[in-house]
């Protein structure tokens, strides 16, 4: 029989970029991914669309799978011939029970690989500005489980040895035992003034840090109602945090931001959000596809055959440029046949896309929307001219109407169609319900319409209501109007219709709401 294979992969502490290259490759090629709560949900988007996803973590409403059952599941899947990715939080060998999973596979002769990950024990403090070692403060560190009951802790941890080490102590799974842990450390000689930090959900939007000393940390944890999962750091290195709080000082830190635009355009926005310290969550609700309707295709052919007759070619989106050029190629129309035409772009990105194809756009409108284009072209338009408008099927009517008013013949071509995309996503509904999506970006009216529809299709009733707690960020007034009409409360609108301007408005708003 065809034997499968199991990759036992460390997912890192939560930030989806903190997985190894080898781990990511395993995830991308697997037939099944078996995951739990500590492996970041965004990593699941890296799997093939047809890959099966099996959640084996805790769920309040259901029976939680025991370790033996998980071991058995991995084995069975592999015996069915599947390539399995067992995704585990942090590093699989650090309190990850990878030994038990691997042992059963080994016994049955199923091939497996252990792919290390970045353990939360090191990465989580690092994201809170605490390096686990330091030339002058700590020359070693120990990673200790705080999971056990006190008497078992006493048997497994040699408190006197742990305590006497000069190095940093890192406790995982220890929040509930913080009182007992600090008491033991003090009893065995660590001064009550020793700095302590608890970092919850490190490397994620929810990252939160509580600092204190061995003497007062239990009280502080109780007072703050500080909940797991957290890494507990004990030692002088905690003092570094005051100077090294790097990620927390970024403008969008603490925000998980939903990115709704087409996957092909989402990554740029997602990267910028990430740069600014936010956590992008990409959920594309739209995609553009080449025009498919025979009648419209015939119009495209006819229009391109008259290339020499146009005085203007006006492009209103990057997709418009891309698809227009694809049609030129398809119909073997040389761009030089538009010899008479001047090109105009709405927006700097569209102009850049033109420039990349060797065409310089006429003056850009100040506001980057259709209304502005006519102002900025003003004097150059003359009655009797012909303008070609290659665009998408959802393009607005303002531009052709205004051109017509100016006596210019506007030939609209739907070179592409916008389609609704509904990405399967179990975690998004959960995050929305828990208030874990902090902001939503809309970069066109169609992203608003489609998001609400996509949410309905993944089982969320009255989606506009569910989005009420989120900051709604719109790229321009038209998008904002659509959002309002559909029952959303728009929090902010970009001054100029660009991604940069949208991000600027978001950072400003965030700064004001943080103080
Ligand atoms: N194999 C994992 C640890 C599993 S034990 C690793 O190497 O990171 C689970 C414990 O890890 C949690 O109780 C918590 O103490 C810690 N942990 C994992 N991810 C964390 C995160 N993002 N923030 C804080 N603590 C985390």
> Of 420, 437, 452, which closes a domain?
420
Buried b (16+ CB within 10 A) or exposed e, 320-354: bbbbbbebbeeeebebebbeebbbbbbbbbbbebb
The whole-number pLDDT of residue 147 equals 84
Whether residues 344 and 372 share a domain: the answer is yes
Structure tokens that stand for 331 in this block: 């119909």
CA distance 427 to 450: 18
The answer as to whether 378 is a domain residue is yes
| Ligand 1 center from residue 430 Cα (angstroms) | 21
The one catalytic residue among 25, 137, 173, 250: 173
Q: Whose CA is nearest to atom 24 of ligand 1?
A: 230
Distance CA 50, CA 56 (A): 19
CATH number at residue 403: 3.40.50.10090
Number of structural domains the chain divides into: 4
Question: Ligand 1 centre and the CA of 230: distance in Å?
Answer: 7
| Same domain as 20, residue 51 | yes
Residue 220 lies in a domain: yes
Burial class for 86, CB neighbours closer than 10 Å (0-12, 13-18, 19+):
buried
Ligand 1, atom nearest to 91 Cα: 7
pLDDT (0 to 100) of residue 203 = 96
3-state secondary structure 85-101: EEEECECCCCCCCHHHH
Shared-domain flag, residues 151 and 240: yes
- pLDDT score of 226: 97
In this structure, the answer to whether residues 155 and 173 fall within a common structural domain is yes
CA of 227 to the centre of ligand 1 (A): 13
Question: Catalytic: 431?
Answer: no
SS3 category, 368: coil
Ligand 1 pocket, residue 172 CB under 6 Å = yes
Give the domain range for residue 242. Answer: 122-249
The residue from 420, 442, 474 where one domain ends is: 420
Looking at the structure, tell me whether residues 466 and 351 fall in a common domain.
Answer: no
* In a shared domain, residues 395 and 433: no
Residue 1 among the catalytic residues: no
**91 Cβ neighbours under 8 A, 6+ residues apart:** 10, 116, 117, 118, 119
Q: Catalytic site residue 173? A: yes
The pLDDT of residue 45: 87
Q: Which residues contact 103 (CB under 8 A, 6 or more apart)?
A: none
Tell me, in angstroms, the distance from the centre of ligand 1 to residue 35's CA: 14
Distance between alpha carbon 91 and the CA centroid of its chain, in Å?
A: 21
DSSP for 287-313, please give it.
Answer: EEEE---HHHHHHHHHHHHTGGG-SEE
Separation in Å, CA 444 to CA 117, 428, 471, 478, 502:
38, 21, 16, 8, 12
CATH number where 95 lies: 3.40.1010.10
Indicate whether residue 431 lines ligand 1 (CB < 6 A): no
Out of 387, 404, 420, pick the residue that ends a domain. Answer: 420
Ligand 1 pocket, residue 124 CB under 6 Å: yes
What are the CA-CA distances from residue 158 to residues 164, 185, 234, 438 (Å)? 10, 10, 16, 44
Q: Is residue 141 part of a domain?
A: yes
Alpha carbon of 72 to ligand 1 centroid (Å): 24
Of 17, 58, 66, 187, the active-site residue reads 58
Ligand 1 contacts CB of residue 230 (under 6 A): yes
Catalytic residue chosen out of the listed positions 36, 91, 311, 414: 36
Say yes or no: CB of residue 89 within 6 Å of ligand 1.
yes
Q: Are 135 and 108 found together in one domain?
A: no
Q: Would you say the CB of residue 94 lies under 6 angstroms from ligand 1?
A: yes
Closest ligand 1 atom to Cα of 232: 15
Whether residue 298 is contained in a domain is answered as no
- Residue having the nearest C-alpha atom to atom 9 of ligand 1: 173
173 lines ligand 1 (CB under 6 A): yes
Tell whether omega for the bond before 229 is within 30 degrees of 0, i.e. cis.
Answer: yes
Q: State which ligand 1 atom lies nearest to the alpha carbon of 203.
A: 22
279 CA → ligand 1 middle, Å: 19
- Note whether residue 292 is domain-resident: no
What is the structure's pLDDT at 368? 61
For the stretch 226-272, pLDDT in tens is 999 999 999 999 999 999 999 999 999 999 999 999 888 888 899 99
126 lines ligand 1 (CB under 6 A): no
For ligand 1, the distance from its centroid to the CA atom of residue 49, given in whole angstroms, is 28
CB of 96 within 6 A of ligand 1: the answer is yes
In order along its 515 residues, the chain shows pLDDT tens digits of: 567 999 999 999 999 999 999 999 999 999 999 998 777 778 998 999 899 999 998 776 677 789 999 999 999 999 999 999 999 999 999 998 899 999 999 999 999 999 999 999 999 999 999 999 999 899 899 999 998 777 887 877 888 887 767 799 999 999 999 999 999 999 999 999 999 999 999 999 999 999 999 999 999 999 999 999 999 999 999 999 999 999 999 999 999 999 999 888 888 899 999 999 999 999 999 999 999 999 999 999 999 999 999 999 999 889 999 999 999 999 999 999 999 999 999 888 899 999 999 999 987 666 666 666 777 777 788 899 999 999 988 777 788 888 898 899 999 999 999 899 998 887 898 899 999 999 999 999 999 999 999 999 998 999 999 999 999 999 999 999 999 999 999 999 999 989 999 999 999 999 998 76
Q: How far apart are CA 233 and CA 237, in angstroms?
A: 8
Inter-residue contact 18 to 12 (CB < 8 Å):
yes
Read off the tokens for 79. 């015996």
Q: What is the pLDDT of residues 263-308, one digit of tens each?
A: 888 888 999 999 999 999 999 999 999 999 999 999 999 999 999 9
Distance 317 CA to ligand 1 centre (A): 44
């Amino acid at each position: 029989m065809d034997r499968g294979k199991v990759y036992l992969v460390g997912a890192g502490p939560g930030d989806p970029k903190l997985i190894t290259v080898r781990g990511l490759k395993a995830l991308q090629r697997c037939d099944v991914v078996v995951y739990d709560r500590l492996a970041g949900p965004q990593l699941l988007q890296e799997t093939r669309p047809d890959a099966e996803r099996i959640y084996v973590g805790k769920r309040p409403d259901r029976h939680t799978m025991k370790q033996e059952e998980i071991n058995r599941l991995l084995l069975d899947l592999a015996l069915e011939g599947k390539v399995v990715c067992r995704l585990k939080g942090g590093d699989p060998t650090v309190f990850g029970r990878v030994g038990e999973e691997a042992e059963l596979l080994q016994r049955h002769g199923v091939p497996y690989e252990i792919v290390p990950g970045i353990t939360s024990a090191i990465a989580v403090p690092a994201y809170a500005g605490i390096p686990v070692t330091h030339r002058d403060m700590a020359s070693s560190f120990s990673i200790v489980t705080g999971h056990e009951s006190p008497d078992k802790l006493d048997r497994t941890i040699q408190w006197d040895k742990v305590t006497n080490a000069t190095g940093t102590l890192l406790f995982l799974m220890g929040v509930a035992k913080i009182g007992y842990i600090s008491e033991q450390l003090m009893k065995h000689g660590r001064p009550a003034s020793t700095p302590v930090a608890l970092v919850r959900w490190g490397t994620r939007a929810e990252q939160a840090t509580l600092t204190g000393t061995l003497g007062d940390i239990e009280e502080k944890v109780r007072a703050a109602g500080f909940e797991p999962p957290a890494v507990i750091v004990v030692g002088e290195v905690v003092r570094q945090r005051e100077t090294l709080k790097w990620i927390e000082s970024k403008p969008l830190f603490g925000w998980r931001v939903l990115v709704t635009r087409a996957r092909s355009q989402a990554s740029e926005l997602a990267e910028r959000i990430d740069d600014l310290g936010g956590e992008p969550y990409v959920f594309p609700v739209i995609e553009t596809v080449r025009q498919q309707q025979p009648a419209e295709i015939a119009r495209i052919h006819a229009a391109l055959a008259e290339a020499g007759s146009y005085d203007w070619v006006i492009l209103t989106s990057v997709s418009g440029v891309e698809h227009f050029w694809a049609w030129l190629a398809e119909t073997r129309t040389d761009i030089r046949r538009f010899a008479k035409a001047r090109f105009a772009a709405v927006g700097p990105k569209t102009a850049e896309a033109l420039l990349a194809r060797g065409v310089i756009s006429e003056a850009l409108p100040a506001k980057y929307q259709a209304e502005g284009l006519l102002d900025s072209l003003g004097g150059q338009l003359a009655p009797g001219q012909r303008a070609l408008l290659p665009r998408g099927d959802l393009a607005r009517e303002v531009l052709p109407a205004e051109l017509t008013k100016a006596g210019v013949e506007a030939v609209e071509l739907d070179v592409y169609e916008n389609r609704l995309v509904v990405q399967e996503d179990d975690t998004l509904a959960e995050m929305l319900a828990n208030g874990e999506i902090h902001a939503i970006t809309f970069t066109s009216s169609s992203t608003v319409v489609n998001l609400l529809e996509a949410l309905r299709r993944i089982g969320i009733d009255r989606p506009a209501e569910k989005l009420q707690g989120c900051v709604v960020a719109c790229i321009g007034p038209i998008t904002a109007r659509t959002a309002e009409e559909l029952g959303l409360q728009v929090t902010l609108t970009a001054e100029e219709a660009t991604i940069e301007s949208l991000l600027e408005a978001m950072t400003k708003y965030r700064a004001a709401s943080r103080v």
